[in-house]
Chain A
Amino acid sequence: MPGEIHFQTLAQLQEALASKSVSSVELTRRHLDRIEAVDGRVQAFNSWDEEDCLRQAEASDERRAAGKIKGPLDGIPVGLKDVIAVKDQPLTCSSRMLERFVSPYDATVTSRLKNAGAVLLGRLNMDEFAMGSSTENSAFKTTFNPWDTSRVAGGSSGGSAAAVAVGELPVSLGSDTGGSIRQPASFCGVVGLKPTYGLVSRFGLVAFASSLDQIGPFARTVGDAGRLLQVIAGHDPRDSTSIDTATPDYSKALAEKKGPWKLGIPREYFAEGLDPEVKEAIQAAIDWYADRGCEMVEVSLPHMHLAISVYYIVATAEASSNLARYDGVRYTHRSDRAEDVVDLYFKSRAEGFGEEVKRRIILGSYVLSSGYYDAYYLRAQKIRALIRQDFSKAFAEVDGLLTPTSPFVSFKAGEKTRDPLAMYLSDIYTISANLAGIPGISLPCGFNSQGLPIGLQILGEPLGEANLLAIAQSFERAHDFIDRHPNPSPPD
């Protein structure tokens, strides 16, 4: 197969495998070579098992030779954020707490990938337990931005985004609780989709904030994100919040839906704090949609400015409860300094959790504690309802909302680690989609003067993924941002 295999799209690789111009073993080998060559500088992976990947690839090639391929991803390498369970593979959540944990079962998305024939290649770095916006909270390593390795890949799914951007993988999965797919996608110049809450099963996704968490795809094109979503979406009896509805055919929808659309510009997203170069790129995207006949309307989401506070109350409350299970007893790190069983909880948790996780457990325990519950948690849940109402009103009028994904481009490693509140505030444009449960996509819409990618976010109504993908793809096809690839230079 000619050309740089590692920057081919999923669609191209599927074709190459189907026409037998490349084998899965060769494809997997070339991606492993790419990882060997660049991962020392990017640090997207926590681990990978070369022998196991090649065995999976061989099995795929045998199936294909026998004319018995399993599904659309047969032979395609797919990486998973290290928070999604794969039987007999490590599942660390980038935490000391689970450093030696090996998963005894598959997540539902993992089963779906296996049933589609995918080669599961590696565990991708993240902020510890998905808490963070830069992967700097990983207990093991920081994932650097392939466009400038002195900067962060974003987070919490930084490894999943960087690996796809730098050609270590054609596609990957991440999870998004407050922007953890869309923000790193924006920072790394790839496509990232957070599906509607309940579209993708959370079974086997290590829980951070259960009412907000959602698994979604990273890809280098919108179409590829749709292809991966097709495989992982759908009802699962093992997740009681999974929506029982038929999954649309996203590729068919992409071929049919051509617009023009009625698009909303929420004025609250363009207030102070937005980097001028980001603003310019988003404005250019808005103008592009207008020029091709989309009707543009200004809309208002009046409770938007409260979303950060609501989010960091709801998410930390749920996290403090979810993370109570890491007690040093059954499957986690255990302190050897403990004097009795209660001491074992205190010390194992002190040693196993990193600083951000501890901070959020404390905050979450506080907002749920007696005397503060009504003032914080209950009030936050009420304002969450108002935020959802704002979106419902907007989507009664428009097909999608156009916004920046992040107020700024990727920042320097270390720049925000000393000020947690500043880090939290950087999630301003992404978190309200999680609170409302609506889908959102980030796609490249330009580069700033330093050559760093800028992401356009499109938000849609619940279960409106087909529309979102179509709106995004029309922009992508008219621009050449996806043809640019980073080439992280070796350190001096």
Chain B
Amino acid sequence: MSGPHSIDIDYVAQLARLELTAKERERFSGQLGDILQHFAQLNEVDVSGVEPMAHAFPVENVFREDKSEPGLPPEKALENAPRKRNNMVLVPKVVEG
């Protein structure tokens, strides 16, 4: 699929680390095409000189005193780990060799 309102769905799914089925790819392509077409209305607005707004109110750095406080103990932090051993999260091998 190509055109002004189409998404390279395989590329974006790769960016998002998300495996999609063939059906999902097809359905999302169509639906997201419709949505992008709707977004095209934003091009009608003159935004020159407008400062982008990331937050509802100006946010500045918020500092606190550099004081240590108790955190989660490892056992508690690992309670939800899908696989663990010796207070560590287990994952498939990352480095070859």
Contacts and interface: CB of A to CB of B under 8 A. Distances in A.
Interface of A: 100-102, 104-105, 197-198, 211, 237, 240-241, 243, 303, 305-306, 308-310, 312-313, 320, 324, 327-334, 338-347, 349-350, 353, 355, 358-359, 361-363, 365-366, 369, 376, 378-386, 388, 420-421, 424, 435-438, 462
Nearest to B24: A358
Interface of B: 7, 9, 11-13, 15-21, 24, 28, 31-32, 34-35, 38-39, 41-43, 45, 47, 50-57, 59, 62, 64, 72, 76-77, 79-83, 89, 91-94
A329 B89 CA distance: 7
B35 A365 contact: no
Contact of A346 (B18, B47, B56, B83): B18
Given A345-B17, A363-B35, A388-B53, A104 B76 contact: yes
9 contacts: A100-B80, A237-B64, A308-B38, A343-B92, A353-B18, A362-B7, A362-B9, A363-B35, A421-B31
Contact of B51 (A308, A346, A382, A437): A382
B34 to A, nearest CB: 5
Nearest to B76: A104
B59 A241 contact: yes
Contact of B56 (A363, A388, A424): A388
Nearest to A345: B17
Nearest to B47: A382
A347 B83 contact: no
A362 B12 contact: yes
B15 A365 contact: yes
Contacts of B18: 346, 349-350, 353, 358, 361-362
A31 B7 CA distance: 49
B81 A241 contact: no
Q: What are the 3 A-B residue pairs with the smallest beta carbon separation, nearest first? A: A437-B56, A381-B52, A331-B80
B80 A101 contact: yes
A340 B45 contact: no
Contacts, number: 160
B53 A384 contact: yes
A469 to B, nearest CB: 20
A385 B15 contact: no
B72 A104 contact: yes
B12 A366 contact: yes
Nearest to B91: A341
A34 B80 CA distance: 32
Contacts of B72: 104-105
Contacts of B94: 340-341
Contacts of B31: 359, 420-421
Of B15, B18, B92, B94, chain A has the most CB atoms within 10 Å of the CB of B18
A359 B32 contact: yes
B68 to A, nearest CB: 15
A323 to B, nearest CB: 9
A71 to B, nearest CB: 24
Contacts of A358: 18, 20, 24, 28
A309 B82 contact: no
A369 B15 contact: yes
A328 B53 contact: no
Nearest to A385: B53
A382 B50 contact: yes
A362 B17 CA distance: 10
